[in-house]
Amino acid sequence: MRPTIVFVTGTDTGVGKTVLTALLTRCLRERGLNVAALKPVCSGGRDDARLLRTASGGVLSLDEINPWHFRAPVAPFLAARRERKRVKLSPVVAHLRSMQKRFEVLLIEGAGGLLSPLGDDFDSRDLMTSLRATPVIVGWNRLGAVNQVLLTLEALPHGMTARARVVLMSPPGPDTSTGTNAGLLAEHFDRKRIFQLPWLDGHLDWARESGNSPVRKTLERLASEF
């Protein structure tokens, strides 16, 4: 059965989670699926949520995509505390479950890395577990990537590693490991579940990226698994 919830997390913050989520959402929509992308908790601005709203074709309001948002550019848990607010796991799960009923595939983007605190005593791993989601791990394809990806895989909820996908995003300045990381990682993780994308700048141009053959082929291969 096709998984209905895909959870996009990262080895760190700023590794390309939003770009990947937006592109994958557009790719799935082009395949005729009823899809939406959400970033339920964020801090430091809502630009990511706005990009996901555009990628989803405006089928949801910004507040449906991103109900919990805070100003300070720190972990959402700390940002909420500064505003004397609290985020609890159960309302977040309830919101996402209600959204799930409306779509064939729901993409959820976490904030920061897998264990970055989102709210009161929960992080992306806890949210992923509650949703029984399929993990997609995004990391920079540079020196240190193999260690970071393997650590994140090790930290996944029990039983979810076998369903995880890994996406290595090339940084703006590739290093000598960029061409070898996927092969080395494949010695520890299923090669068929490792994907690579070239550098995609923050000014995302869907028409340009969808016409870029390597990007499109990778996205279509990843999308076909959902």
Q: Kindly write down the DSSP assignment for every residue of 91-119, as one continuous string.
A: HHHHHHHHHHTT-SEEEEE-SSSTTSEEE
CA dist 169 and 19 (Å) reads 10
Residue 188: C-alpha distances to residues 29, 146, 193, 194 (Å): 32, 9, 11, 11
Contact 147, 116 (CB under 8 A): no
Per the CB < 8 A criterion, the answer to whether 8 and 109 are in contact is: yes
Catalytic residue among 39, 85, 88, 217: 39
CA dist 69 and 9 (Å) reads 18
- Residue 217 annotated in active site: no
**Active site residue ranges:** 39
